[in-house]
Amino acid sequence: MSAAPPDWSVTVVGVGADGWDGLSPAARRAIERAEVLRGSARQLALVPGSVAAERVPWPSPMGPALDQLPAASPGRRVVVLASGDPMCSGIGTSLVRRFGPAAVDVVPHPSSVTLACARLGWPVEETTVLTVVGRPVALVTPHVTPGRRLLVLGSDTAAPAEVARLLATAGYGASRVTALAQLGGPEERRFTGRAADWPHAATDPLVLTAVEVVADPGTVPLPTVPGLPDDAYAHDGQLTKRDVRAVTLSRLAPLPGQLLWDVGAGAGSIGIEWMRVHPSCRATAIESRPDRAARIAANATRLGVPDLSVVQGEAPESLAGLPRPDAVFVGGGATTPQLLDTCWTALPPGGRLVVNAVTVQSEAVLAEWHGRCGGSLTRLSVASAEPVGGFTGWKPAMPVTIWSVTR
C-alpha cells in the first residue's frame, strides 16, 4: 500500500455506457464539484462541457500515474471516472489497494455483470465472473465445466473470439456464447453463436462474454479437486502419479491466497493442482532441468494456471530469495544436503512441509526428521488392474512414503 497525505482523498464515480444521462444525482454532484477529472479519453468526453473541472486523461501505462495521484493535484478535489462499478475488476479496487479504503470514496454505477445477468436472466449468485483484462485468456480454463455459466470481462473487441477459441480447443465447442456490447447504452447490442464456429472476429471495445458451458461428445471434464488423470500432463515419466498426488495435496492443504514451493517439480503437477483449487492460490515450481522447466510452463498454461512461477535451477541454492511459502512439497531429493533444512527454515508458523520418498535412503532421512519434528509418516501402496494372459491381475506401483508436518 502506498503512502498518501493524511487528509488526502479521492472520489471514484462509476459511469455506464449511457453516459451522463444514466448517472444518479449523487454521481453528478460529485463530478460537478470536482476540480480535476481523471479518466480515459472516452470517459472524459461523456462529461458535458458545463463541468469546469480540469480534465486529465490517463497515460499508458496507467500504474505509475495511480501511484502519483496524491502528489499530482495537491489540495484539489479529484474525481476519477470508472466504467460501471469501480469495485468490480475496476480502478476503484486498484486505488483502495494502493491507498486504503479510508482515502477512496466510491459512487458506483450498475456493473456490466449486473446488467448482463439482467439481460440473460441469470442469477448473479449462480454465475462465475472472471476477468482476462490484461491477463491470459487461459485463466478461464479451470472454470470450464459442463452446465456452468461464465461471465468473462475482456479488454478488447477480440476477447469473445479468444474465449470461443479456448472453449473449442478444450472440447467445449458446443458451448453457447453471447457477447454483450455497450450494456446500458443507446447502442447496446449482442452477438451470439457457438464456440466451435464463432462468427464474430471483432465485436466492440466495451464487451462482456457470456458462456453457457456445454461439453462436446467424449470430452472428459477436469475438476478442480486434486488428482487429475496422468495423461492431462505432458511428462517424461517424472510425474507424481494421480493417486499419490491426491493424497499429497490433501496433506499440503491448499488455502486461498497461499503460496506453495514445489521443489523438484518434474511435470509441475503438484503446483498446478494447488493453483487450480482457487484463483488466488499461488505456486513456484523449482526444477533443475531446462526441458522440464519449459514443460511445466506449457502444462500450466494448458491447464489454466499460466501465472505459475517456474524457477530453473538446483535446490536448495535456487530457493534463496524466493517469497516465503505457506507450504512446501519435496517430491524427490530428500537426501540432498541442506534441502530439508532450507525448506523447514523457510516456513512460517503453521506452514506445511510434505516430502515423498521411494528409496530406503530417503525413507531413513524422513524417519530422522519425523523423530525430530513430529508430524505423520504414511506409506501408500497402489495397485492397478492389468491383463495377465486372458485374466486380470493387480500390478503394484512402487510404494511411496509421505512425511507431512506442520511447523
- As a three-state string, the secondary structure of 199-242 is CCCCCCCCEEEEEECCCCCCCCCCCCCCCCCHHHCCCCCCCCCH
347 forms bridges with which residues in the sheet?
none
Q: Classify strands 207-212 and 54-57 as parallel, antiparallel or unpaired.
A: unpaired
Our CA angle for 21, 27, 29, nearest 5°, is 100
Q: Identify the pLDDT of residue 250.
A: 97
Q: Which domains does the chain have, with CATH numbers?
A: 10-110 (3.40.1010.10), 114-212 (3.30.950.10), 230-406 (3.40.50.150)
Q: Which three cell numbers stand for residue 209?
A: 462474454
Q: At which residue does the C-alpha cell 488466488 appear? A: 280
Q: From start to end of 222-323, where are the E strands? A: 259-263, 282-287, 309-312
DSSP letter assigned to residue 23: -
Q: Classify strands 259-263 and 327-330 as parallel, antiparallel or unpaired.
A: parallel
Query: In whole angstroms, what is the distance from residue 384 CA to residue 334 CA?
Result: 27
Query: In 10 A of CB 130, how many CB atoms?
Result: 21
Q: Identify the pLDDT of residue 3.
A: 63
Q: Identify the pLDDT of residue 172.
A: 98
Query: In whole angstroms, what is the distance from residue 167 CA to residue 152 CA?
Result: 12
Yes or no: say if 376 and 403 are a contact pair by the CB < 8 Å rule. Answer: yes
Q: Which three cell numbers stand for residue 386?
A: 492389468
Q: Cα Rg for the chain, rounded, in angstroms?
A: 26
Within 8 A by CB and 6+ apart from 386, the residues are 392, 393, 394, 395
Torsion of CA 333, 334, 336, 341, to 10 degrees: 140
Q: φ and ψ at 387, to 5 degrees?
A: -65, 140
Q: Identify the pLDDT of residue 1.
A: 61
pTM for this prediction: 0.89
Q: Report the candidate in 159, 166, 165, 173 with the shortest Cα–Cα distance to residue 141.
A: 166
Q: Identify the pLDDT of residue 156.
A: 87
Q: Identify the pLDDT of residue 267.
A: 97
Per-residue pLDDT of the chain in tens (407 residues, 90 and over written 9) = 666 677 899 999 999 989 999 999 999 999 999 999 999 999 999 999 999 999 999 998 899 999 999 999 998 999 999 999 999 888 999 999 999 999 999 999 999 999 999 999 999 999 999 999 889 999 999 999 999 999 999 988 999 999 999 999 999 999 999 999 999 999 999 999 999 999 999 999 889 999 999 999 999 999 999 999 999 999 999 999 999 999 999 999 999 999 999 999 999 999 999 999 999 999 999 999 999 999 999 999 999 999 999 999 999 999 999 999 999 999 989 999 999 999 999 999 999 999 999 999 999 999 999 999 999 999 999 999 999 999 999 999 999 999 999 99
